[in-house]
Structure 1
Amino acid sequence: MPELIAPTVLLHSAWLEAHEEWGPGAHEDGFGLMSSDEVDSPAGFAAWVARLAAGSNPAGPLEARRMSCMYRWIVEDDRVLGGIALRHGLDIVLETGHIGYGVRPSARRRGLGTWALGRMLDEARVFGLDRVLLVCAMDNTASAKTIERHGGVQEGVRDTESGAARRYWIKIQ
């Protein structure tokens, strides 16, 4: 049975296995990984996990709250299957959406993205959000279907740095 957990250094090798499966340069949404993050060494990985945890603190100073993001990993049997993020700060949400997620290739087509999105919608409700924006690439039909399963209504399409993207709003019940 999968679970959503906060990022942890205890799953360093499991996370690296998932990261390697995605391959170099591939998009791994939901992990908050930046090109400047060094995740191969235990110290670099620990620093990255600490950065993710710091971004999850909605009680911090105003600047931190603007950029706040809750990260969770989709884990089953000590295997990292994917990641999902709930951005509850204001600065980047209109461009990237409130929620971003990714499932490693070998774990796709099992409904994990749909399941994880449902859990994060519950978290969005806790943060007091009444609706959330999700953005996905035009050619990502699997993600579009996942969003639509949760009641996502397409607002339109916008050009982004990485190409055209669909924009969906989901009302939180």
Structure 2
Amino acid sequence: MPSLVAPTVDVHISFLEAMDEYVAEGRGGLDDFSNIGNDIRSYAATWSTAEGFARYVSYLRAQRLEETPRPPGFVPTTVLWWLDGAEYLGRLNIRHRLAPGRAGERNGHIGYDVRPGARRQGHATAMLAAARPRAAALGLPRVLITCDFDNEASRRTIERNGGRLTDRLDEKLRYWV
């Protein structure tokens, strides 16, 4: 049964297969502002080696710490992977607070992504449900979650987890859960 866990080197092969799926669907380009897209651009050149992957995993795990250096406007974030044994199925980020300004209002507290080969199997809904107690433990009893207005699958995922549509900001629908 899949579960949310801290990033681990134990799923290196499956992780690389998932990243190949993302690249095949066009992710990682300069117009991909997602965490997956940024990580592909920043780490794909080195994460194929055990050492490079270990550095990447350490980087992700350090993002939860307040003292970790990060770009302006970025906030501490707990990164979790949705794993079924050694199979990487997806990723979820819990931002410990909203980023300052419009970025926080557009991105919300929680973001998630399911690898292309594991979509339409209920993973996003289960992953978000599993993240809610973790967010509460971080002091977030209510979380803002956003999705593109035309992303029907993500909208259903949020609504299945109790999300109430608040408004639309540009192309983003904003839900409180």
**Same fold by TM-score, threshold 0.5 exceeded?**
yes
Q: 1:42 to 1:63 in 2, by over 3 A?
A: closer
Q: Which residue in the other structure is 2:85 paired with?
A: 77
Identify if the C-alpha distance between structure 1 residues 105 and 88 changes in structure 2 by more than 3 Å, giving closer, same or farther: same
* Segment of structure 1 superposing worse, 27-36 or 37-46: 27-36
Query: Which residue does the alignment assign to 2:172?
Result: 165
Counterparts in 2 of 1:139 and 1:121: CA distance versus 1, 3 Å: same
Q: Corresponding residue for 2:52?
A: 44
Aligned to 1:104: 115
Give the CA deviation at 1:154. 1.3
AA partner of residue 156 (structure 2): K
Contact 1:4 1:74 in 2 (8 A): yes
- Residues 1:15 and 1:28: Cα distance change in structure 2 (over 3 Å): farther
CA contact (8 A) 2:98 2:108 kept: no
- The residue type equivalent to 2:39 in the other structure is L
In terms of fraction of residues, the more strand-rich structure is: 1
| CA shift digits 1:16-69 (9 cap, x unpaired) | 011111225426956572622232232222221111111123xx44977x7211
**What CA distance in whole angstroms lies between the structure 2 residues aligned with 1:30 and 1:109?**
21
**Structure 1 counterpart of 2:10, one-letter code:** L
| Aligned twin of 1:147 | 158
Give the TM-score normalised by structure 1: 0.83
What is the alpha-carbon distance in structure 1 between the residues aligned to residue 160 and residue 5 of structure 2? 23
| TM-score (normalizing by structure 2) | 0.81
2:133 is matched with: 122
Q: Contact 1:4–1:73 at 8 Å: present in 2 too?
A: yes
Cα 1:40–1:134 shift into 2, 3 Å: same
Query: How many pairs align?
Result: 163
Q: How does 1:28-39 map to 2 (within 5 A)?
A: 33=39, 35-38=41-44, 39=47
Counterpart residue type for residue 111 of structure 2: G
Task: Give the 4+ runs in structure 1 shifted more than 6 A.
Answer: none
RMSD over aligned CA atoms reads 2.3
